Amino acid sequence: MKFRFGLLLILLVAGCSKNETPPASYKPEAPTAKIDPSTTATVSGVVTYTGDVPKAQPIDMSQDPACVLGKVPPNFGEAYAINKGRAANVYVYIKDGLGNYSYPTPPPATLDQKGCRYVPHVLGLMVGQKLRILNSDPAMHNIHSMAHENDGWNESQYPGGDAIEKTFNKPELMIPVQCNNHPWMKMYVNVLSNPFFAVTDAEGKYTISGLPPGTYTLGFVHEKMGEKTLKITVGAKEHAVAGPAFSSADIK
């Protein structure tokens, strides 16, 4: 009887400690071409918004005194950063049309924590590019990446602590990153296999440069309004202008 009980206990422990297989690394095809810098084109534009703008949601940071030092309330959420009909924090990228080019890995990108917010709110990276995470706050933060195609991670960071460095091995859009200590803190990381992406600024503007001539599908992604696409064609050294209009009807 003791032997059977011990065997059962071993089986139960083994079943509870099962680990899921982590996502496999992204393995792109070997590059077959290099971009000729003397022929590259640019696409830029403004992302607009029409209709009623959702009311900004107030945020109560008083649960952590370190988050309100020197601050004058109220604080508001960043889901709808719309100013005079122009939308910020829209991720713009080449969705389709690129050949199989080789690209150098960009230098590290930075994600900071300031005023108990993530800065920036939306960030673009290339596969394999380093992400350096800083904590400029007097508060302890907990950075939790909830990726699906890439490995997720969840790490604490002391005030002024050493930078945390991460990389993403597969393309994936709108990866939520949040702080478990401060539930209002949330941002989005986008990972692409090429360097042709941008995030709209406070005036809704973006620019993507260095494109080889061709016909492309541009994707425009917003955390609450989904994705819109536009087709563009650019010749050598040309400058195309493209920008979709989101509206209150797109809010999900």
What pLDDT shows up at residue 56?
Answer: 86
What are the structural domain ranges in the chain?
A: 34-95+199-252, 104-193
pLDDT, greater one: 6 or 78 = 78
Share of the chain above pLDDT 70, in %: 86
Domain 34-95+199-252: top CATH class: mainly beta
Give the DSSP letter string of 38-81: GG-EEEEEE-EEESPPPPPPEE--TTSGGGSTT--S-EE--S--
CATH 2.40.128.110 applies to domain 104-193: no
**Residues 109-138 as b or e (16 or more Cβ within 10 Å = b):** bebbbebbbbebbbbbbbbebbbebbbebe
pTM metric for this prediction: 0.86
Residue 215 confidence (pLDDT) above 80 = yes
11-25, 75-89, 149-163, 216-230: the lowest-pLDDT one:
11-25
Instruction: For residue 118, give the amino acid letter.
Output: Y
Burial of 13 (0-12, 13-18, 19+ CB in 10 A): exposed
What pLDDT shows up at residue 228?
Answer: 98
pLDDT grade, residue 24 (50/70/90)? low
53-57, 95-99, 105-109: the lowest-pLDDT one:
53-57
**Structure tokens that stand for 147 in this block:** 């990726």
Give pLDDT tens digits for 139-176: 999 999 999 999 999 999 999 999 999 999 999 999 99
Average pLDDT over residues 211-238: 97
Residue among 154, 159, 222 nearest 190 (CA): 222
